[in-house]
């Protein structure tokens, strides 16, 4: 997996990722991404990290893009995100190092 990308919107707004791409500009290839969204819609009062049973532990005003492959180091990656609640978001970034996953098997 590559570096996760956090999407944070104002409290009271729940983002839904309509589409998202990450493109390696050196190769022109798109990196496969997984959309992770819809966190706590009913958080435990006073606990910023806790949710009631059956919900994820991130805030409802957050969503994440998770690249399913490591991102190439020292290479520009273009990101385009379309949300239900916000206009088109586009930016680019350059990872300093490739981040490879740690796999634990039991």
Which residues have a Cβ under 8 Å from the Cβ of 42 and sit 6 or more positions away? 51, 52, 55
Band (pLDDT 50/70/90 cuts) for residue 100 is: low
Whether the CB-CB separation of 60 and 10 falls below 8 Å is answered with no
pTM above 0.85, yes or no: no
Chain segment 43-89, per-residue pLDDT in tens: 555 554 556 555 556 677 888 888 989 899 889 999 999 988 777 88
Alpha carbon distance 11, 15 (integer Å): 10
Chain segment 14-48, per-residue pLDDT in tens: 788 889 999 999 999 999 998 887 666 555 555 54
């Amino acid at each position: 997996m590559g570096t996760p990308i956090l999407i944070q919107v104002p409290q009271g707004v729940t983002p839904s990722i309509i589409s998202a791409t990450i493109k390696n500009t050196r190769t022109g290839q798109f990196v496969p991404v997984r959309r992770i969204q819809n966190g706590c819609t009913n958080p435990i009062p006073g606990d910023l990290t806790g949710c009631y049973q059956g919900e994820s532990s991130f805030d409802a005003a957050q969503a994440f893009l998770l690249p399913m492959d490591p991102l190439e180091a020292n290479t520009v990656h273009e990101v385009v995100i379309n949300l239900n609640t916000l206009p088109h978001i586009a930016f680019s970034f350059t990872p300093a190092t490739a981040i490879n996953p740690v796999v634990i098997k039991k």
